[in-house]
A and B are shown apart, each in its own frame.
Chain A
Amino acid sequence: MPFDVSDLAELDAPEQEYLWTLNFGPQHPATHTTLRLILTLDGEKVVNAVPHIGYLHSGFEKLGEHLDFNQYVTIVDRMNYISPLHNEISWHHAVEKLLGIELTPRCKYLRTILAELMRIQDHLLNTGTCALDLGGFTAFLYFFQQRELIYDIVETASGQRFHTSYTRVGGVAFDVNNAWVDKVRSFIKGFAAVHAEVHRLLTRNRIFIERVQGIGYLSAEDCINMGVTGPLARASGVLRDLRKDEPYLAYADLDFKVIASKGGDCYARYLVRMQEMVESVKIIEQCIENIPEGPVNVDAGSKAVIPAKPSVYRSIEGLIQHFEVMMPNRGFPTPKEEIYAATESPNGELGYYIVGDGSPRSYRARTRPPSYVHFAVFPQIIKNHQLSDVVAVLGSLNIIAAELDR
């Protein structure tokens, strides 16, 4: 019988689908940390994805019930560890709301600058590693260099380059000096060039665009219904930004834009992040020139606040106050109330739900982690994509495992 190619095609097209299962993670370079996905594949196409998480669940919230408001700042640091200071700012934002403390203007500006530096830091690592996973190593190295400069800045302010533990109830640990201001200024000056360089490297790079454009589409309705916030939601056209909607710190006085896009795919998310960095730089510029003089911590007369070091060493009132705040069996009265307070973290709405029971410890310290909510979206948006797109989508979602699992 003569050989006919069309016979072969019929033979090879089976009726039923052959699905196979692939385990992705929990230790895989593209997960950046520890996530696990069970993918069901039809050839290269992802039919179904089941995320398994909890590989970094370390009991943050349980610890929060055993440490006081100032001590717990060392723990929240470790939550979203690519922008540690922002967690501290959010946590103390919630605590200060519970205690009813109004910050001094200088502290508000200082924290705003730090928060925006952290936003830049977060977006730098995210866009850098997103490019790295898709094969672009250079952008990652360029951006990491800028991260090192931000590390230097926070190190000058707090003494630690990574987990700073810098904020305190009613202020920060130490005030900053002029050398710090100069460092921030010189960072801003140099940043634009690097940013433009990476724009040239990636934004119109054919290889990069083909891996991200049209991949991982998320519509605006889905975003709202599934609780997505932050740059992810804004890349889908949801104009929500807590900095504008519920202004906190100094954001009400500042002039900045909310960046959004209608694309909804990985490319739009990349563009939104890139542009947000530019806006953050603008915010920092405005703040650093107008940073008010005056004390950085609120008056130590308010019971919950750690007094300044000179007054601890030189006056008996200061010493007593310090003792009262620091000793585990003393403490200060707090309202027997509950509060939910959220800030716009680099990743989205980072909220804290604190239950106070009258002691300086929270009875329950709950975090509303943006990564957790965002990762729940993953199975839906990866459907019918190729296996290689898993990496691109994971990169654009910016899942931080410690925040995901807590």
Chain B
Amino acid sequence: MAMKDVPDNIFMTQLDAAASWARANSLWPMPFATACCGIELMATASSRFDLARFGAEVMRFSPRQCDLMIVAGRVVMKMLPVLQRIWLQMPEPKWCISMGACACTGGVFDTYAVVQGVDRFIPVDLYVPGCPPRPEQLMAGIIALQDKIKHGGTLNGTEFGKRTQPMGPTPYDLDELIRIREANEQLVSLN
């Protein structure tokens, strides 16, 4: 069929690109809001900033209905198993935004209870830094994620299957190991 026979209202594209385009513009976020960043997430979704302009306002609290997890706030050792379980419950394809310094790196809370970055334990696609990030910044993050989805996605999600390594730093880096050993030695010497 020659190109000139195709009517105007028909576009030719790859199926992958069409699917990615659709996915990118209908993100359904699952707000995993634990702490202060959650309030900024609320602010992003409400009157002044209005996340609906970017096609990502359908917040659903059931992981089964969502494809974008926004981890807003610090995740502590009692909460991390819950986070992992919710992540596993979300259907493919799914993406994860880590919002705020705490979710990205532990932020100001370098303490015994706070997980030092959720990317050590679940895959993260996009980091939004700030404590808390301003709503504009979160929206910029969502736009960047849409871009990423549009450019990298495949219909059957093969791009995810390749990533078998944890994406963040390994849970135990060297300093941490040394420090833990010292703490335990100290404990032994005390008893």
What is the interface of chain A, defined by CB distance below 8 A to chain B? 26-29, 32-34, 54-59, 62-63, 74-75, 78, 81-82, 84, 125, 140-142, 144-145, 147-148, 151, 161-163, 401-402
Contacts and interface: CB of A to CB of B under 8 A. Distances in A.
A57 B113 contact: yes
A78 B108 contact: yes
A148 B47 contact: yes
Interface string B66-110: 000000011010110010001000000000000000000000110
B40 A59 contact: no
Interface string B112-138: 111000000000000000011010000
Contact of A163 (B32, B78, B131): B131
B43 interface: yes
A141 B61 contact: no
Contact of A144 (B42, B111, B132): B42
B33 interface: yes
Q: What range describes how many residues of B lie at the interface?
A: 20 to 34
Ranked nearest first, the 7 interchain pairs of A and B with the lowest CB-CB distance are A59-B111, A81-B36, A144-B46, A29-B61, A55-B79, A145-B47, A59-B113
Nearest to A144: B46
B35 interface: yes
Contacts of A29: 61
Nearest to B80: A55
Given A33-B34, A163-B36, A63 B79 contact: no
Contacts of A84: 36
A144 B76 contact: no
B49 to A, nearest CB: 9
Interface of B is mostly: loop
A82 B122 CA distance: 28
Contacts of A62: 111-112
A145 B78 CA distance: 34
A162 B132 contact: yes
A74 B76 CA distance: 19
B53 to A, nearest CB: 15
B111 A58 contact: yes
Contact of B109 (A59, A125, A401): A59
A55 B82 contact: yes
Interface of B: 32-36, 38-40, 42-43, 46-48, 61, 73-74, 76, 78-79, 82, 86, 108-109, 111-114, 131-132, 134
A140 B109 CA distance: 31
A58 B109 contact: yes
A144 B38 CA distance: 14
A7 B165 CA distance: 65
Nearest to A29: B61
Contact of A55 (B34, B61, B86): B34
A275 B35 CA distance: 28
Contacts of A75: 108
A34 B73 CA distance: 11
A56 B74 contact: yes
Given A32-B38, A162-B40, A162-B132, 8 more contacts: A56-B34, A63-B109, A75-B108, A78-B35, A81-B39, A144-B43, A145-B46, A401-B34
Contact of A58 (B74, B82, B134): B74
B82 A147 contact: no
A56 B36 contact: no
A112 B82 CA distance: 41
A75 B111 CA distance: 12
